Each structure stands twice: as structure tokens, then as C-alpha cells.
Structure 1
Amino acid sequence: QKHERDRIGRFRACFDTSTPPSTRPRENSCTPSTQLQESKATMPTALPGVLARSTIVLFGDSLTQRGFEPEGWAAALAHYYGRRADVYNRGYGGYNTRWARELAPALFARPPQGQAHLLATVWFGANDACISTERAHVPLLEFEANLETIVQQARQVARVVVVMTPPPVHGPSRLAYQKRKYGARATGVEERSTEVAGRYGDVAARVAGRHGCALLDVHQLMLREADWPRYVGAGTEDGDGLHLSGAGQRFVAEKLLALLPTLGLDRDALAYDAPWGFEVDANEPAASLRAHFARHRGALQANSGVLGVDRGESRPLPGA
């Protein structure tokens, strides 16, 4: 038991930055009850900054919400930044920019201690672009104003903002989906179209340009592919001509992951939060962890300045 207490004490000591290593006791003669009380009193109140991660926020409609599906683009993003950044999916199915604008102030509130998010994506327009008789429709001029407000708020708390355009729409698949869902009540009217979605995409591109945001033009990138309808589920039993199929999810993930390094967001430039398992000495984990943190401290400090790795230090936000 004494050996086990010593081992736990040494392991905890590597995270206790408040006490110099030379003054930390190596022996512990406390009874179990008093030892528990002392451990609660002496444990650090927060993880060391080196264990904190950057954050990424994805804001959008169902195209974002569904991004965490098994083949989803958001899931691919989380995998790409594994152990380096945490991805928060804030996708709201059925939302347009009019409704999303009401959420944006809370979603893009100033992060704790003034830390900026590493990245934010903004992906709206698919619902705004439906025909005027649909409840989610938002006129083009209002869409532009709403999106501008959302993007401005995102830019206040994120180092990089990527605006994404709505995908093209496959009309025959939309009508087939209507019949499956509504049967005899189906209107037979296409409530969305590629042409109109393209207009909203053009506006999104202008907003991105005005505010210095990166653009992922999903609409145009898909149209360059001869078989683009498969990206929105054409030819599948459950495809609806609007939402991304597995192929569409992979397409968006591929294009986004190719864009990020050009924005200075290559994952290899980000330090991971703790050493890999094979780097930890199984016999002396505390010492090997301390050595790892010491070796990587310089890289972490450099990353925090360039890429916003959160090390528990307060840095000014862009434009602050």
C-alpha cells in the first residue's frame, strides 16, 4: 500500500505546478482518511495549460448537424485534429439564417479567458433558398444581412472563419422524396432548386470576401463533377436530393481538409495535449511525463501565438 501511495503521489506531482519538485514530499505517512482529505486540498484546481486543447465550432443547419454521421465531414474533421483540438458541432436541422442569427450571440460569446477558437465554420443557405411559400424561406437580401451578422460575430471569437455555400439540389430526387414522405399529399412542386441555391451561394461568397473569411464553395465544387447528384443522394433509397450522402460527406471532408493547411491550420503544426502511450515510461510515468512537457514547452508556446493553442494564457482576440 505504501508503494502504491508513493506511486500515485509521484504521478500527481507531475501535474502540480504550484510546488517546486524539490519540495514535494516523496513519503506519505498519513492514514487513508487524512490522505484523501489532503489530496483533495493539494490537487491542482485545473489541468496544466499544456493539457488544454484548441476548440473548433461548426455552426449551420442540418448539413452541419448531420456532419457527425458515421461518414460525416464533421467527424472527419474531429478525427483529423484528434488530441489537438476539440470539435463542437452546433448544427440545427431546419434552421435558416433568420433563426440562426438569434442563436449566434450566445454561440459566439467571448470564450473563457479571452481565448479565440482555432476555427469556426458557417454553413447556411440550404433552407433560406427554398421557395417563398415554405416557412423557412428567407429573401436573398435578408439572407445577406443575416449571414453578415453571423460572420461578424464568429470573427470576433475565432482565428479563422470558413464560410460554406449550400450544395446543388437534385430535383427528381426531391420529388421522389416528397412522394415517399407525403404520399397523396405530395405537392409535386420542387421547393428547392440548384439555380436558386447557387444565388444564395454567390451571396455567401461575397459576404466571406467582405469580411476576410475563407470560402469553401461546396456548390461550385460539386457542380464541377459530372456525377454530382450522387453527393446529395440521387439513386439511393433514402436520398432526398438535398442532404449529403456518404459520398457527399466524404467529398466535403476532402475539400475542407485540403483547404485547412492553406489557412495555417495544418494539424502537424499543433502540439498534442499529452504524450502518446508509447512515449510514457511504464515504470516512471511521472518523470517521463514531466520530461515530455519540458521538451514540448517551446513548441507549445510558439503554437499558442500562431495557431491559438490554449495553454491557459490570456491572449487578445482579433480586433480586440
Structure 2
Amino acid sequence: MVAHTSFDNFLLFGDSITQFSFDVIDRGWASQLANAYQRRLDIINRGFSGYTSEQALHLLPQLLPLANTPTHSKIQFLTIFFGANDACLPPSSQHTPLKRYEENLRALIDMVHSPTSPTYSPHTRIILICPPPVNEGPWEKECQQRGMSMNRDWEVTKAYAEVCLSVGREYSERNGQGEECQVDVIDTWGIMMEKVEGGERTLSEFLKDGLHLAAAGNDVIFEEIMKILRTKYRAWDPAKMLMHGPWWRHLDVDHPETDLLICANKPPVPASTV
């Protein structure tokens, strides 16, 4: 009997910066991940343009399998990338108060890593991604073209990025203290601003309209994700993972079904390997 061949998942959850991350023209960070993990992991894009952490609370349970429910594939990695819209200025309907944003991030992480959660998944590794800076000039022009008033502020968005970074570091330290909570955080704001202030890049190189990522911004996210994988989860470095299916030159020309049956019944990487 032929077993079902499944590819484990790398689930990307966020707002428009995630939804647009398959854009190959701007070297979308998800498209780069999909290229790196071809025949190894399925990159699943669940980005929702305009959404905030408030809506995320209701969406994430719909995307996660129930605990102890058999599935063909597992979510090995999950990115959570909200904050750019939460930081909108009131009276915008997208505005989420800073304290509430912090609570929402904790709730999203706990949906995965709390043993009492119906979607508890201790093997799923979370990568929390902080919102990037806002380039106010270009974004104000974008707002004017859309018939909107300026709805974001550099300092306000910085505060949301700092909260995200703080939450991510806190959960990351818990794992170091023996708790089963594998969380990492990417300081998008800090990385970009360090390069801007050092004269290596401009915000316009990172952000194509003042808010969404240009090619250089996408490169930052992709490179930081890969850095985490290569240093902390080395077995999941795509360069070290076996591909699903033998190379075609290795297949038995007359009876390829024998080689492919073995492939279908043998996962490329043990689920417990980190």
C-alpha cells in the first residue's frame, strides 16, 4: 500500500507585508523561502492585507490543527508578523492600543505553545517579526493619492516594534530556562535603522512606498529567518535537508515505483529533529 507523501509546513501569518511576500519582482521574502525549501517544506502564505493583531486572534485558530489530531503534515515553523497596521493613528479603525497589541502577541504565541490551548503544538517553532520603520514622506504621498489623511507616525510605529521585540525576547528566554517554548524574534526596525543611520542604505531602499517592503527590505527578512534556521535549527537548514524523492538519475528506469514507494513512506527529516 502506498503511503501519503506529505510535506511539512512553514506557515507565514501576518498582514499585507506577508501577503505580498510572494512578489517575485521585489524578491519577496516568502518567494525566497519557497525557492530555498523546494521539495523540503511547503511555504504557506496566510497574509491578510490591512489586518491587525485584533483580527489575527480570530484567524489563527482557523489555521492551526487541533491538538492531538492526526494530520498528514505538521507546521514546523510559524512566522507572526503584525504591527504595521496596529500602529495606525486613531481614529483609524485599524488602530490597536499599544498595551492591547502586546496582549494580542502573547495570546497568539500561547495559542501554539500553551499546553491548555486547543491548538497546542509544542514542536512548532515561532518566529516573531517586528514591524519595519515608516518612511513618512513617501507614505504621506501614498495616503494623499488614496484620498486619505496621513495615518502613521515614525515614533509611534517604533513603540510597537519595541513591544514586539520585548515580547519575543521574553519568550525566547523562557525556552532557555527549560520551558517548552521555541520562539525567536527578528528586530526588523533595529536592523534597518542601523543600516540607515550607518549610511549603508536609505529607507527608500527598504520600503517602496514608505510602508511595504522593497527588494532590500525583503532581503532583510529572508536573511534573518535563514540566520535563525542555520544557527538554532541546523537540521532545518535547507542546505542540510534531503529533498523529497530521489534524484531522477537514481530512479530505476524500468521500475521507478519501487524507489518512489520508499520515498512515500520515509519522511526526509524526523519531526523531532531540531
Structure 1 length-normalised TM: 0.71
Contact residue 270 and residue 303 of structure 1 kept, 8 A: no
Shift of 1:287: 4.0
**Superposed CA RMSD:** 2.3
Secondary structure of 1:214 counterpart: strand
Please, which runs of 5 or more residues in structure 1 have no aligned partner? 1-15, 17-43, 234-238, 308-320
Is 1:85 the counterpart of 2:28 in the alignment? no
Deviation for aligned residue 1:258? 2.2
Aligned to 1:278: 249
Long gaps (5+) in structure 2: 114-119, 173-182
Residue number in structure 2 paired with 1:138: 96
The aligned counterpart of 1:201 is 161
Of 56, 59, 64, which residue of structure 1 is paired with 2:18? 64
* Distance 1:102-1:224 versus aligned 2 partners, 3 A rule: same
Q: Whose Rg is larger?
A: 1
Larger helix fraction of residues: 1
Alignment pair present for 1:113 and 2:85: no
C-alpha separation in 2, matches of 1:97 and 1:88: 19
Displacement of 1:289 in angstroms is 4.0
Indicate if the aligned counterparts of 2:34 and 2:42 stay in contact, CA closer than 8 A: yes
Q: Distance in 2 between matches of 1:252 and 1:231?
A: 14
Which residue matches 1:223? 193
**Further displaced range: 55-64 or 113-122:** 113-122
Instruction: Using the aligned pairs only, state the percent identity.
Output: 28
Post-superposition offset of 1:65: 0.4
Residues 232, 240 of structure 1: 8 Å contact kept: no
Q: How has the CA–CA distance of structure 1 residues 193 and 245 changed in structure 2, closer, same or farther, with 3 Å as cutoff? A: same
Alpha-carbon distance in structure 2 between the residues aligned to 1:178 and 1:134? 13
Partner of 1:192: 152
2:18–2:81 contact (8 Å) kept in structure 1: yes
Match of 1:167 among 127, 132, 137: 132
2:8 to 33, 39, 54: 54
Question: Residue 173 of structure 1: CA displacement?
Answer: 0.4
**Which string of whole-angstrom CA distances, capped at 9 and with x for unpartnered residues, describes residues 250-279 of structure 1?**
232122222211221312343322112222
Amino acid corresponding to residue 170 of structure 1 in structure 2 = N
Is contact 2:51–2:85 with CA below 8 Å preserved after alignment? yes
**2: CA distance between counterparts of 1:129 and 1:139?**
8
Is 1:271–1:303's contact at 8 Å kept on the other side of the alignment? no
User: Which one is further off, 137-146 or 252-261?
Assistant: 252-261
| Pick aligned residue for 1:253 from 213, 216, 222 | 222
Deviation at 1:61, TM superposition (A): 0.4
Q: 1:179-236 deviations in whole A, cap 9, x for unaligned? A: 3222xxx53xx42122211211111122223333101111111111122412443xxx
* Residue 122 in structure 1 maps to residue 80 in structure 2: yes
Q: Quick check: 1:98 aligned with 2:67?
A: no
SS in 2 for 1:196: helix
**Retained in 1: the 8 A contact 2:244–2:263?**
no
SS at match of 1:120: strand
Q: How many residue pairs are counted as aligned between the two chains? A: 247
Partner letter of residue 151 of structure 2? E
* TM-score of the superposed pair, with normalisation by structure 2: 0.82
Matched with 2:273 is 306
